[in-house]
Structure 1
Amino acid sequence: MKPIPVTLATSSVYPLSVHDGFAIAADLGYDGVEVMVTNAPTSQDPDALNELASRYNQPVYSIHAPTLLLTQQVWGGAWNKILRSVKLAERVGAEVVVVHPPFRWQSEYASQFREGIKELMHRSGIKIAVENMYPWKAGGQEARMYLPHWSPIDRDYEHVTWDFSHAAIAGVDSLEAFQKLRERLAHVHLTDGFPNGRDEHLLPGYGSQRCAAAMEWLGDYHRTHGYDGVVCLEVSTRKAKNPGEREEWLRYSLDFAHTHLGQ
């Protein structure tokens, strides 16, 4: 059985460029990349991405649709973001598009979301994996930011992306989530965090999540049942200051994944 691919999100090298993401992934021995679509032209250009993938021998395994608050101006309306992300995935050979659940003010989009992504997956053959988010607090009270909910565990989504940093904010145990999701788990953002309200995207093992145990469970599940997704390192390296420090952190993260996946 082939090992689970371990990839690097281009967002992990921010504020460096998409090009730097491919180059660093190749230098460190990652299996490929996830491209976060932003206002950076390269992140939206399939020809540029295919050229980078070929130059660095780093296939694009996944596309992260611009459904974040910070990318609300990218590619217009909510459905257009999903449609263009799927088309981009088709052009670059990616198997998964990562999307966030609808925001509460996107009520019409939210009412069509589940059936809409199901139909789009049927037509395209691309997996659309809905990512777990977290509750927002306002004045000490939970603000309803997502429809129908920030957690995909109990929702009727065929494919789920699981993010450890988001789980930390929500106070959700990722190992238990993996055990509930099982075959619905299509994509993993390996990172870490604390239940402090900040989406820190720490290196795995540097927060409160049971990252090692969850990776060990996933490795065992892959060997017994077959997991056809990837583990993507989506960590923050913005605080790296010394030469080579970012690369050291990302090499550590890659080694962490391989060690605990048992491969």
Structure 2
Amino acid sequence: MVTRIGLSTSSVYPESTAHAFTYAASVGYDAVEVMVGIDALSQQTSAVKQLSEHHAMPICAVHAPCLLFTQRVWGTEPWGKLERSAEMAAEVGAEVVVVHPPFRWQKEYARDFVNGIAALENSTGIHFAVENMYPWRATKKRGAEMYLPGWDPSQEPYANTTIDLSHAAIARSDVVEMADRLGSRLRHVHLTDGTGSAKDEHLVPGRGIMGAERFLRHISAPSFDFTGDVVLEINTRKCSTREEREADLRESLEFAREHFVVRSV
């Protein structure tokens, strides 16, 4: 298997999932991660599969609809959302579902989240890669714990995890140290950047302070033995033209290929 450099469909918002596949193919990405969201097409397995086949663009992961603004996508029952995400992943040939830990107010869902994720992996054969989040910072000095059992997946016995560099910037986490704590449990990467502000910036990698190039070199070293995919998940909403958006997507891809030594495993 070879680590692929993929594009998250969220990276082209407010353009559509269909546009994301077009960008990924034209710029030269290896794969796409589908963010199941408010775009109706992203919720339809048949449509997503058709896009993948039309553009000859594999789908490396499905991101479950667990953001605040997708709380009603595929219903409101959280385990049902994860089951549907696994069904979509299996149908489109993806091995990974990216999932966030529960919000603090989802107490019943959070109560057995760790064991529930393990049970879903066993029953579906899909890797549920739990993503690092962050404390919500109300002030410069204080933060609110908004996730249960916690925002740092390295503190829980998940079999598969995702590191997102923008989230780590908010939490002021060292992503190399987090990767070392996770070891072989690091299944998936959201490559992006941040400045350390309280805002989830999702900058083009290299435009923030997270040392994205150092992180990529670290996980691509033979001694680390990373076998997952690296997906660009950036915010291009400030781009005023499609040409500007494509330039950001191209710069991000070139950054990843420069600093991640792709190798067969």
TM-score (norm 1): 0.95
Whichever residue aligns with residue 92 of structure 2, its letter is V
User: What is aligned with 1:147?
Assistant: 148
User: What is aligned with 2:237?
Assistant: 238
The 2-side partners of 1:133 and 1:13 are apart by 21
The 1-side partners of 2:128 and 2:2 are apart by 22
User: What is aligned with 1:100?
Assistant: 100
Q: Is the 8 A contact 2:192 2:202 kept in 1?
A: yes
Superposed, which structure 2 residues align to 1:119-130 within 5 Å? 119-130=119-130
The 1-side partners of 2:168 and 2:87 are apart by 29
Whichever residue aligns with residue 108 of structure 2, its letter is E
User: What is aligned with 1:191?
Assistant: 192
Q: Is the 8 A contact 2:36 2:43 kept in 1?
A: yes
User: What is aligned with 1:254?
Assistant: 253
The 1-side partners of 2:5 and 2:19 are apart by 17
Superposed, which structure 2 residues align to 1:74-223 within 5 Å? 74-75=73-74, 76-138=76-138, 141-220=142-221, 223=222
User: 3-state SS of the aligned residue for 1:153?
Assistant: helix
User: 3-state SS of the aligned residue for 1:102?
Assistant: coil
- Say how many residue pairs are matched: 260
Q: Is the 8 A contact 2:7 2:231 kept in 1?
A: yes
User: What is aligned with 1:58?
Assistant: 57
TM-score (norm 2): 0.95
User: 3-state SS of the aligned residue for 1:189?
Assistant: strand
The 1-side partners of 2:107 and 2:35 are apart by 25
User: How far 1:210 moved relative to its partner?
Assistant: 1.1
User: How far 1:179 moved relative to its partner?
Assistant: 1.7
Give the % identical residues: 47
The 1-side partners of 2:228 and 2:164 are apart by 14
Alpha-carbon RMSD? 1.3
Flag structure 1 segments of 5+ consecutive residues without an equivalent.
none
User: What is aligned with 1:32?
Assistant: 31
User: How far 1:252 moved relative to its partner?
Assistant: 0.8
User: 3-state SS of the aligned residue for 1:35?
Assistant: strand
